[in-house]
Structure 1
């Protein structure tokens, strides 16, 4: 009887250990820009939810768009022996060394939203087709403006590759219309506060401006707030990202349009590819993966929720 009890106990312990091993798949690090921007919060949430669904623990942190802080977090991730890193980076050039350091330590990185300037360092770079998205937004902006008038462009952080790509996409379309006149171009660093302050200053020099096209939604919200405060709520404003805040503004008849980049889905895909790479040593996909963006205006804004468009 005692031998049977011992055997049963040993079997139970082995089963428990096997179950624990099967359940413990390691920790995935999720390193993102500040979560006070709902876009980056959605990325972090999407990655965390998918990682937990697939059986991983999550270490979610923010680099604050500071390359030095980002490197510190990579060092911490390496020390924690995470099994993968999901990253929206803090600079196209500055991030290469951090991702290479993780790779040298045997930790694969999967990038979303912003690409880096070197290939074959990250396993995946899943990014929105920012040029295509900007073209779509610019086409709507030109249409809303009636193909003529003065406008201001608010550009994102100058060190961010996406800021330049979106601006080029905008001008690829707008510059085809000779009656569209850009009277000012200002970098508001992706910030709602800076966009509000910049717009207040720019309105003093250009009080009759007819349109504002912005590199992201937070700047569009800041610009719209400044325009409303100045009694100029009829100025055409277009953003980029597809945030709930801008969705609500569109439904309220204020901001006229934005461009959705599916960041939540990108984050999920990055984790799915990390899981496959951990299991098989490859993803079966190219490193650079582009996802097209979608115009959001009064026609479909009600279908938008947390950077996802329902059918």
Structure 2
């Protein structure tokens, strides 16, 4: 009887393991600071929920990401989480997942699908809020006048387009502030450093920098230091409230950043995927709100 019980227990354990939920996760790129935080949050929540996760790095390559999604489908994963390289490619990704009847969750970057079908959801933040919060604080810092430059993320990315449009809308309401330069640095610190160096060399009188993320804002700060300009004398803004960004707020180099909740997005992506796997209905858009961060409240976000 004891042997029979042990055999049955082993069979049950094997059966449970065999039916463990498996989720394929493809991210734009692993070496992005903010996306690393999202990935870590997905991993932590997946572990807490007993989920088997398979992570893939698309390395900023849309073709590679599509292949990764096709591989997940071939492996018959239970759900797929995608942080898209190029949001214009999401209709194709959606089509693949729907045809395979596999739940799909987009995280952090809003898909360009006109509407998301059942069993497909987006977990992220309303980008139209982030740039507005950043822009309004920069207007305060500038006291309503001065020239600014705008550093954009990848132009294939809705977040970059929305954040830039928000800044432009705020500037349009303040006629004494002018955008004298606007160019992409692809979310990258080193590219932003080079871009800021070019603008400094061009001789434009610049009073502020509106960057679409903290990494580019930090690149601008480094370029100013190299040029012998104290960043504290300028009005510099970023978005994401990364650890490095918060450090720059603390030392006074970054006037404002906007907290984008990487943990909330990662956890929300796992939660949405698991609900759909269980057959539960999920809202097509799960909002994770942005929050303004300045010298007055940055300490609150140091542990987030």
User: Which TM-score band applies after superposition, normalised by the shorter structure?
Assistant: over 0.9
Whether 2:299 is the aligned partner of 1:298: answer no
Deviation (angstroms), 1:18: 1.7
- For residues 21 and 230 of structure 1, the distance between their equivalents in structure 2, rounded to whole angstroms, comes to 64
Alignment counterpart, residue 173 of structure 1, candidates 160, 167, 170: 170
Aligned partner of 2:138 in structure 1 is 141
Figure out how many residues of one structure are paired with residues of the other and give that number: 299
- For residues 269 and 260 of structure 1, the distance between their equivalents in structure 2, rounded to whole angstroms, comes to 16
Alignment counterpart, residue 205 of structure 1, candidates 196, 202, 206: 202
Deviation (angstroms), 1:207: 4.7
Where does structure 2 lack aligned partners over 5 or more consecutive residues?
none
- After TM superposition, the runs of 4+ consecutive aligned structure 1 residues lying more than 4 A away are none
- Summarize the alignment of residues 1-311 of structure 1 with structure 2, pairs less than 5 Å apart: 7-23=1-17, 24-118=19-113, 119-121=115-117, 123-233=120-230, 234-279=233-278, 281-283=279-281, 285-305=282-302, 308=304
SS in 2 for 1:95: helix
Query: Is the contact made by 1:111 and 1:126 (CA closer than 8 Å) also made in structure 2?
Result: yes
- For residues 95 and 280 of structure 2, the distance between their equivalents in structure 1, rounded to whole angstroms, comes to 17
Deviation (angstroms), 1:84: 0.9
Query: Is the contact made by 1:183 and 1:206 (CA closer than 8 Å) also made in structure 2?
Result: no
Query: Is the contact made by 1:155 and 1:214 (CA closer than 8 Å) also made in structure 2?
Result: yes
- For residues 197 and 165 of structure 2, the distance between their equivalents in structure 1, rounded to whole angstroms, comes to 25
Deviation (angstroms), 1:32: 0.8
SS in 2 for 1:111: strand
- For residues 150 and 203 of structure 2, the distance between their equivalents in structure 1, rounded to whole angstroms, comes to 13
- Give the CA RMSD over aligned residues: 1.6
- For residues 90 and 171 of structure 1, the distance between their equivalents in structure 2, rounded to whole angstroms, comes to 24
Scaled by the length of structure 1, what TM-score is found? 0.91
Scaled by the length of structure 2, what TM-score is found? 0.93
Answer with 1 or 2: which has the greater Rg.
1
Pick which of 288-297 and 136-145 moved more: 288-297
Where does structure 1 lack aligned partners over 5 or more consecutive residues?
1-6
- For residues 173 and 86 of structure 1, the distance between their equivalents in structure 2, rounded to whole angstroms, comes to 34
Query: Is the contact made by 2:94 and 2:120 (CA closer than 8 Å) also made in structure 1?
Result: no
- For residues 13 and 150 of structure 1, the distance between their equivalents in structure 2, rounded to whole angstroms, comes to 75
